[in-house]
Amino acid sequence: MNFSQSSIRRQAVRIACLGLIGLCAVMSWNGMAQNKAKSAQPGAPQIDLCPRPAVGSAVPEPVELRSSHGVLKLDLKIQNVREQDGSVRYCYSTPDGAQAPTLRVHPGDRVVLRLKNDLKDIDPEAKTSDPMRGPICSAKPHKVSNPCDSGAMTATSTNLHFHGMSMPPVCHQDDVLKTSIQPDDGVFEYSFQVPMDEPPGLYWYHPHVHGFSSRQVQGGASGALIVEGIERAIPEVAGLPERVLVIRDQNLLHPDAPPSKSEPPVMSKAQLDSDGDAQNTGTGFGKPSKDLSINFVPVPYPNYEPATIRIKPGQRQLWRILNSSSVTYLNLALLYQRKPQSIGIVAIDGVPKQQEGNGSIPWVDHIGIPPGSRVEFIMNGPPPGVTGLLVTRTVDTGPVGENDPNRALALIKADPQAPELASTLPTAHAPLPAAKLPPLRDVKPVRTRKLFFTEVPSNPNDPNSPTDFYITEEGQQPKLFDPHSRVPNITVHQGDVEDWIIENRSPELHAFHIHQIHFLVMEVNGKPVDEPFLRDTVNVPYYKSTELSYPSVRLRMDFRDPHAVGTFLYHCHLLEHEDGGMMGTVRVVARGKK
């Protein structure tokens, strides 16, 4: 099943032509001096704290940090830098300067991550956009003695969320409600054990400070986390080389540029939505709301000059792709000689294909990935002499959604001299132990809830005022998320399985996400769905005024894992919406407690 909107094949062909025509612009990415540069001698080169590759570069592999003897210890620093064009970059870096390392762990491993907040108050948009429009969000950090109880939400606050992991939502592990680290604080230590039954697959880490998540993630603060052992669940991938691709979005490098001449004109005048992003044109073309990058190699509007991936001719690889965009939907396809290629989906959102599904791997010619979601698939490199393209097709986000048009991301060059990848899956492996719990599809839910997305202007008398975003359980009044409330929106008991129907009552596509657990998609718009994947993020189609009922998805929510005990979040994973109030809390009460 594919939750993104399909595009017709000629659009994919148009992208192939567009990507191959792009201009060869080389861009300099010298950041403004911060910290060390302030004390540098006159004439000394400026230090780029968060360097980025040039447009059209080869896609680099992220640095990998692996556990050893059951432990992964690492130091990370989050920092930001204001560029000469006024944009602000954010990045995670290791002591030796590597950005956004991929963390590789095994089930049962201990992770000890020491995070230093080195953010500076240099982001003017973070002060003026104030997503909560209230006193709790300040640009000035609060001095606190205990980050575990801080709750401070400022432009220079940060924390870490380990997206998709089944970890307790407590301080030093995966709490983002109270935990807030300030620049004045010392090094903050995250220490947790990867559950022994954590599904092998692709997860990720990123900041989750309410009101400012979008700024930090869009600026580049994100990285991949891999739980090893996928070959134990999917034998077909054993021995395959692995390629990790992190796709991020960022503000347009050339916002005032006219569209490429290779693109058909868009008749409607370009509009901006309430967040200031380019609004959906409904055509598959036009200015995008954000530029994309692939492992930090930018692919900017309007020519979308693609990055480059070299691969040995015909080589089969496992590609692990993370959409860490703040608001951009992806609809990925591989094109060889302008023809879409089949890719074999082995995992979605970190969970391999479930064994109770049909025995074969689903092979598709495109796959939709909402913001925050991940996909892992088998691909075959192009034959000798053929150059392919990795593209994202247009996604229809609705009449008030952001514009996510067709565009190329990377040239795929068949090259016998292509370098070996850093990681190859083991060939020898033992199968995963049988699941201890019954398949989620076979469990009768103890109750059914209905939640719905809505969005309205903050000033009802001014349709151009900023938008308030809500997610509400039916029977309650819509309220903006209050991070300081200690009353959960929903209470469940550990061991329960529930069905949640998520309706979209807005004319914009939303992506429902929940922390700590996974769910099974049972229905879309009332029609049964039979897919062999668990998810933690899913699209909810937008509402059209001509429809007689609201679009919806029915999700079977799995609260059986004891690691889920505690209070955690569910929200739209378009981070502008999350920061704007479209979020709620669920409290999982330990079995036997009231």
Tens of pLDDT, residues 296-315: 999 999 999 999 999 999 99
- For the cut 50, the answer to whether the pLDDT of residue 97 exceeds it is yes
Q: Give the CATH number for residue 549.
A: 2.60.40.420
User: Do the domain assignments include residue 432?
Assistant: no
Q: Is 234 a member of any domain?
A: no
- Counting residues of the chain whose pLDDT is more than 70, the rounded percentage is 86
- List the one residue out of 538, 578, 573, 574 whose CA is nearest residue 557: 538
Residue 430 lies in a domain: no
214 pLDDT more than 80: yes
Residue 393 has a pLDDT of 96
What is the mean predicted confidence (pLDDT) over 382-390?
Answer: 96
Q: Is the pLDDT of residue 125 over 90?
A: no
Residue 197 covered by a domain: yes
pLDDT band at 270 (very low <50, low <70, confident <90, very high): low
pLDDT-derived band at 143, boundaries 50, 70, 90 = low
Is there a single domain that holds both residue 529 and residue 485? Answer: yes
In a domain, 262, yes or no: no
Q: Is residue 523 located within the same domain as residue 566?
A: yes
- Determine the 3-state secondary structure of 26 from DSSP: coil
Residue 466: its pLDDT value, please? 85
Together in a domain, 14 and 40: no
Cα(456)–Cα(470) distance, rounded to whole angstroms? 9
Q: Which region among 29-33, 204-208, 287-291 has the lowest average model confidence (pLDDT)?
A: 29-33
- Furthest-apart CA atoms within the chain: distance in Å: 71
Q: Are residues 41 and 66 in the same domain?
A: yes
Phi, psi of 235 (to 5 degrees): -60, -25
Q: Are 18 and 304 in contact (CB under 8 A)?
A: yes
Instruction: Give me the number of domains the chain comprises.
Output: 3
User: CA-to-CA distance for 204 and 102, rounded, in angstroms?
Assistant: 9
What pLDDT is recorded for position 464? 76
- Closest among 440, 445, 441, 369 to 409, alpha carbons compared: 369
Q: How far apart are CA 445 and CA 560, in angstroms?
A: 12
Tokens of 476: 């309650």
- Beta bridge partners, 244, equal 320
pLDDT bucket at 435, cuts 50 / 70 / 90 = confident
Scan for tokens 């399985």, then name that residue. Answer: 497
Same domain membership, residue 463 and residue 323 = no
DSSP 423: E
In this predicted model, which residue has the larger pLDDT, 33 or 237?
237
| Of 386, 483, 503, 496, the residue nearest 179 (C-alpha) | 483
Instruction: Return the pLDDT at 40.
Output: 35
Going by pLDDT thresholds of 50, 70 and 90, the confidence category of residue 465 is confident
Tell me, yes or no, whether 57 and 112 share the same domain: yes
Distances (CA, A) of 234 to 201, 350, 354, 431, 561: 11, 13, 9, 9, 23
Same domain, 378 and 511: no
DSSP H or E segment with residue 91: strand 88-93
Spatial CB neighbours of 494, under 8 Å, sequence gap ≥ 6:
559, 560, 561, 562, 564, 565, 588, 589, 590, 591
459-480: average pLDDT: 91
pLDDT digits (tens, 9 = 90+) for 274-290: 566 778 787 888 899 99
Whole-number pLDDT of residue 268: 53
Comparing 332 with 483, the larger pLDDT belongs to: 332
Q: Quick one: CA dihedral 103, 434, 528, 587, positive or negative?
A: negative
- CA distance linking residue 483 with residue 210, whole number of Å: 7
Q: How far is CA 574 from the centre of its chain?
A: 9
Asked if residue 452 and residue 393 are part of one domain, the reply reads no
Nearest to 65, CA basis, from 107, 115, 108, 111: 111
Domain boundary among 424, 458, 492: 424
- φ/ψ of 128, rounded to 5, equals -95, -25
> Residue 174: which pLDDT band, with cuts at 50, 70 and 90?
very high
- In 3D space, the residue among 166, 191, 196, 194 whose CA is nearest the CA of residue 179 turns out to be 191
pLDDT of 355 reads 55
Domain end marker among 366, 397, 424: 424
Q: State whether 504 and 417 are in the same domain.
A: no
Angle at 128 between CA 291 and CA 584, to 5 degrees: 80
The pLDDT assigned to 267 comes to 57
Helix (H, G, I), strand (E, B) or coil at 37: helix
Peptide bond into 135 cis (omega under 30): no
Q: Is residue 455 part of a domain?
A: yes
d(CA 6, CA 9): 9
**What integer pLDDT is reported at residue 47 of this predicted model?**
67
For the question of whether the overall pTM of this predicted structure is more than 0.75, the answer is: yes
Phi/psi for 249 (5° steps) reads -115, 165
Does position 14 have pLDDT exceeding 50, yes or no? no
Q: Are residues 58 and 205 in the same domain?
A: yes
Q: Output the average pLDDT for the chain.
A: 88
The reported pLDDT for the residue numbered 480 is: 96
pLDDT score, position 31 = 31
The tens digit of pLDDT for each residue in 548-574 reads: 999 999 999 999 999 999 999 999 999
Residue 141 confidence (pLDDT) above 90 = no
User: 3-state DSSP call for residue 374?
Assistant: strand
Same domain, 189 and 317: no
Asked if the structure places residue 261 within a domain, the reply is no
**Sheet of 497-504, strand order:** 467-473, 447-457, 497-504, 552-558, 519-524, 527-528
Answer yes or no: do 275 and 414 share one domain: yes
Range of the domain at 100: 35-228
What digits encode the pLDDT tens for the residues 508-531?
Answer: 999 999 999 999 999 999 999 999
Note the pLDDT tens digit of each residue in 345-377.
999 999 999 754 456 899 999 999 999 999 999
**Does residue 145 form part of some domain?**
yes
Residue type, 114: R
Tokens of 200: 């092998």
